Amino acid sequence: MIAIMLAGTSAMIVSLFGTRWLIKFFTAHGQGQPILGKEDHGPEHHMIKQGTPTMGGLAIVAAALIGWLVAHLRRGLAFSDQTMIVWVGVLFMAAMGFLDDYIKVRKRHNRGIFWKQKNYITMIASFLMAWWLVVATGISETISVTRGDAGLEIPTAAWVIWAGLVIWATTNAVNVTDGLDGLAAGSALMGFGAFTIIAYWAFRNPDIYGSAVNPLDIGVFSAAFAGGCLGFLWWNAAPARIFMGDVGALAIGAALAFCALSLNTTLLLILICGINVMEAGSVAIQMGVFKASGRKKRLFRMSPVHHHFELIGWPETTVIIRFWLISAICVAAALGIFIADFTNITAGSL
């Protein structure tokens, strides 16, 4: 527990001051976020935010990494192979996001050179990371809700495809959610908090969650990301003084997916990331309706769905807070399912 607290606290402090430094640095160098306008079917009502410093996700990722490393200064916490592989995946996604952010800023347009290709690149990377986890660690090859031994065990090749899709989908879902001040960071904070609790619970009950590899190290990893999001949210809350950019959104999405895979809670991820599922789902539904109607009708005024609610008259802060509440309800329900399963097992053993 002390290691988890060290990771979260140190990451929060680094993120708090690191984000402040990034605001000054990017403001001085004119590195502001371009906004999609009417000609690109973007949220024209957000044009007032154009020029706000971006790439603040650098502070989240750096703070999480530092927090994770600081926690390992405490004797007894080993560097696990699995978590180091996870870090490679997270840092790769962050690098992809940074490259896209940098090109957007330099081109003064909200679509980087990879705005189409990066989906394919991140998908391939997701499958490669899933394969690496299988061949290099003892990760459980199951599709499960709360624990590996109660899940559906599938062939290795099928699990790699499944895990790759989970990583890729979660990464893109968080990226889609990152459209309002503090929305993505606040909801991710709740998700990482849930995974920290689940990981610590698994660590304290190895007889039940023995199929989870190195749950304490994953708990430290998750706590570090929670701290990073918390420190960043101080500056990202509406009205935002900095945006996280793709560098933060892609890294956070990958980190959440890796937590779920490592802790055998991939189906529970649907609830833990419920707001992200809703946001990404709204985009898919909008595209489906638009194409099915011969490119004439749309279900929402604009997607992702948070823009729809803005356009029907909700103030941005109202949308953010209500979406945070939805996220909190989803996370609470997920933890309730996890704890209910634990209670059922312990009651049955009495």
The DSSP letter of residue 33 is P
Which structural domain, as residue segments, surrounds residue 155? 2-349
Residue 7 CB partners (closer than 8 Å, separation 6+): 67, 68, 70, 71, 220, 221, 223, 224, 227
pLDDT for res 303: 83
How many separate domains does the chain show? 1
Q: What is the pLDDT of residue 248?
A: 96
- Tens-digit pLDDT string for the chain (350 aa): 889 999 999 999 999 999 999 999 988 877 666 655 444 445 555 555 666 888 999 999 999 999 999 999 988 888 899 999 999 999 999 999 999 888 888 776 655 555 567 888 999 999 999 999 999 998 999 999 998 888 899 999 999 999 999 999 999 999 999 989 999 999 999 999 999 999 999 999 999 888 777 899 999 999 999 999 999 999 999 898 999 999 999 999 999 999 999 999 999 999 999 999 999 999 999 999 888 888 888 888 888 998 899 889 999 999 999 999 999 999 999 999 999 999 998 876 55
* Residue 128: Cβ within 10 Å count: 15
Q: State residue 52's pLDDT score.
A: 84
| Long-range own/partner contacts, residues 74-79 (CB < 8 A, 24 or more apart) | 74/2, 74/3, 74/6, 76/3, 77/3, 77/216, 77/217, 77/220, 78/214, 78/217, 79/217
Structure tokens of 1? 């527990």
Q: How far is CA 200 from the centre of its chain?
A: 19
142: left (phi over 0), alpha (psi -120 to 50) or beta: beta
Q: Which of 96, 27, 80, 106 is nearest to 214 (CA)?
A: 80
Note the pLDDT of residue 297: 84
Residue 40, pLDDT score? 47
Model pTM score: 0.93
